Amino acid sequence: MSNLLNISSSPHVRDKSSTRSIMWDVFLALIPAALFGVWNFGYQAAVLIAVCVATCVLTEYIWQKGMKLPLTVSDGSAALTGLLLALNLSSTFPVWMAILGSVFAIIIVKQLFGGLGQNFMNPALGARCFLMVSFAGKMTSFTYDGVTGATPLALIKSGDDSTELLDMFLGTIGGTIGETSTLALLLGAAYLLVRKVITWKIPVCYIATFAVFALLFGGHGFDMTYLAKEICGGGLILGAFFMATDYVTSPITSKGQIIFGILLGILTGVFRIFGASAEGVSYAIIISNLLVPLIEKVTIPVPFGKEGIKDGK
């Protein structure tokens, strides 16, 4: 046996995962929520999902073809962006606005910054915020069983506590296509955790921090029913497991992920409890995305065998 040591360049730890497998795993994990949304809201939800996915894929293909860039539509990132955007919209949202949002997500948020891996915020959430600013009325109009009204989260904020917790957990309530069923979202989240596509750090720190914030400042004392409704209502579960964990726009360091989750929980609590809107997940994630470089800078570990910098030297 040779006594020589073979030296190779890093990385020394390898994984069979690829961008393609990760994106399609997340897409698959969202299928239960998407199917429930179609069952809950009808064919309009299915049309909106199909339109957003198709528009995102087609937009990325046309852009890359026109710019003579390598074609990457098969990696699933564009399809996932379309699905996430659709799940963040009301089933009655106009199709042409959804198409506009899909184009914005791919070209403005993703491609203009260099494509996948270079975007500084989640494309689907960037598009959702763009649509919220541009078409606030349509983005906050929700219809369930033919009746237009406020979401359970908005009702809770107004002091109306009539919505049953079980209905919120199962998803038989009004809201966006993909946010209503906590059960369906948790099934998808469990799949991602088992597949090790995501880790527990960001979603658990996010939800736990928000829970503490809501109990302290929500005005309901330590009412666990109120807390459970706040967690099940709105886009908290969807955001925590499927958007805050986006590899590109979240910290790569372990401590950074914990700080990121805590920041998300605080911001969501501030927006929901002290803000004018009953929601706040989208803005919390986008603001936190912008702070990721700073979080990574202060949490990057010191190389093994190297002392920390002292006295500026």
Domain extent at residue 175: 19-298
In a domain, 307, yes or no: no
What burial class does residue 41 get, using C-beta atoms within 10 Å of its C-beta: 0-12 exposed, 13-18 middle, 19+ buried?
buried
Residue 3, pLDDT score: 57
Q: What is the chain's mean pLDDT, rounded?
A: 87
Position 241 scores a pLDDT of 96
| pTM value surpassing 0.85 | yes
Is residue 9 a part of any domain in this protein? Answer: no
Q: Are 23 and 75 in contact (CB under 8 A)?
A: yes
Asked whether residue 5 is assigned to any structural domain, the reply reads no
The answer to whether position 309 is within a domain reads no
pLDDT value at position 162? 79
Residue 146 pLDDT: 57
What pLDDT score was predicted for residue 201? 95
What's the total number of domains in the chain?
1
> Which pLDDT score is estimated for 59?
96
In a domain, 210, yes or no: yes
CATH number at residue 24: 1.10.3430
β-bridge partners, 144: 147
* Cβ contact 284:267 at 8 Å: yes
Q: Is residue 76 part of a domain?
A: yes
Specify if 163 maps to a domain: yes
User: Is the Cβ–Cβ distance between 286 and 121 less than 8 Å?
Assistant: yes
Which among 190, 170, 129 has a CA at the least distance from the CA of 37? Answer: 170
- Cα of first residue to Cα of last residue in the chain, in angstroms, is 45
pLDDT at 281: 92
Tokens of 137: 């009325």
> One digit per residue, pLDDT tens: the chain, 313 residues?
455 555 554 444 455 567 788 999 999 999 999 999 999 999 999 999 999 999 999 999 999 999 998 888 888 899 999 999 999 999 999 999 999 999 999 999 999 888 877 888 899 999 999 999 999 888 888 777 656 667 888 888 887 777 899 999 999 988 899 999 999 999 999 999 999 999 999 999 999 999 999 999 988 888 899 999 999 988 999 999 999 999 888 999 999 999 999 999 999 999 999 988 778 899 999 999 999 999 988 888 766 555 555 544 4
Considering the domain boundaries, does residue 6 fall inside one? no
Q: What is the pLDDT of residue 204?
A: 96
